[in-house]
Amino acid sequence: MSDAAEPLIDHDAGEEALWAALLRREPLPGRFYAVTTQGVVCRLGCPAKPPLRRNVRFFDSVAEAVSAGFRPCLRCDPQGARAGIHAAAVRAACADMEAAVSAGDAVPPLAALAERAGYARHHFLRLFRQVAGVTPASYAAALRARRLGEALAAGERVADAVASAGFGSESRVYEDGARVLGMTPGSVRRGGAGEVIRTAFGSSALGPLMVGMTGRGVCSIEFGEDEARLRAGLAARFPAARIEPADEAASEAVARVLAWVEEPCGALDLPLDLRGTAFQKRVWEALRLIPAGGTVDYAELAARLGMPQGARAVARACAGNGVALAVPCHRVVGRDGALRGYRWGIARKAALLRLEGARRG
């Protein structure tokens, strides 16, 4: 191994940027640095005190650094060994909670989940938030809300559905129905009865699209093969809602969407009625901060949200987005830059990125 006092990096622009990221403790997926005086390799973003620059070497993989004689850092776990163990423990806890909710039993408390996983309570709480992106309590609440929605949609009486889902009282669900379900329990049970959704259609360079709008804002922007299928998809989601032709606001919204597709510039600024869990909404708000023409990968977006092990949870939240373009999930790509799943088709995702890139250039 080279002497520690000898400069070990070339001061070119690429490594200048990596060094600046190291000092900021900024996570950069797929890039690592080794500290020659300590003999360890770390991921960029490691919480350890930054080393002297002359003692740093940069690598494209942990395997390359290990071959050069460095051992993985115990703090940032660049190989992901501990992260895999933590993720498995969290998945097991999630499975326990799902089983309890499905059976109509009480959700295990945090102390019991931590004991089963073999961690101290406070440590397991931190691990769960890192992996899942939410606390165990929030995850359990989302499971209860899902079970409640399924029971109501199946026609159960509200009181029975509330009890079987594990909510303490019917009044609590009614008081906070918008947060729990996106509408009142009675409306869910009636398949959206009482909801009025105005729809407008247009033909874009990416194919037919539909905008659905409630009194609160746009709740749906969907691409499809034709108007009939788009309308049928909305009707399946809200079988008893009143779906009516566009009013002035909905017509204006679809015109703005079509204009944006023709010339994508900046954010598509529309009043939105986003319906999802607290975590999903948090991810969707982060998506809206990605500028047109830019992309991030799932791991990077998870790191921005303070959950470095939460790439899969972020991907699921992206997949649950039903408001194309205004919530630009098409700007999230794989770590290698490859295009991953898009509910409106990979071809549309690629076309959108090309359009935005051409506009930016």
Please, is 154 exposed, middle or buried when counting C-beta atoms within 10 Å of its C-beta (0-12, 13-18, 19+)? exposed
Catalytic residue among 46, 94, 219, 329: 329
Please, is 349 exposed, middle or buried when counting C-beta atoms within 10 Å of its C-beta (0-12, 13-18, 19+)? buried
Catalytic residue among 42, 46, 73, 94: 42
Contact 244, 251 (CB under 8 A): no
Distance CA 180, CA 173 (A): 7
Contact 224, 269 (CB under 8 A): no
Contact 29, 299 (CB under 8 A): yes
Contact 330, 353 (CB under 8 A): yes
Residue 289 CB neighbours (<10 A): 12
Give the CA radius of gyration of the chain.
Answer: 24
Please, is 267 exposed, middle or buried when counting C-beta atoms within 10 Å of its C-beta (0-12, 13-18, 19+)? middle
Helix boundaries (H) for 278-345: 278-287, 298-304, 311-319
What ranges make up the beta strands (E) of 246-344?
296-297, 332-333
Pairing of strands 71-72, 40-43: parallel
Structure tokens at 189: 């049970």
Contact 18, 44 (CB under 8 A): yes
Distance CA 314, CA 307 (A): 9
Contact 289, 184 (CB under 8 A): no
The yes-or-no answer on residue 329 being catalytic is: yes
Beta-bridge partner residues of 204: 207
The yes-or-no answer on residue 73 being catalytic is: no
Structure tokens at 268: 């598509």
Residue 83 CB neighbours (<10 A): 17
- Return the active site residues: 42, 329
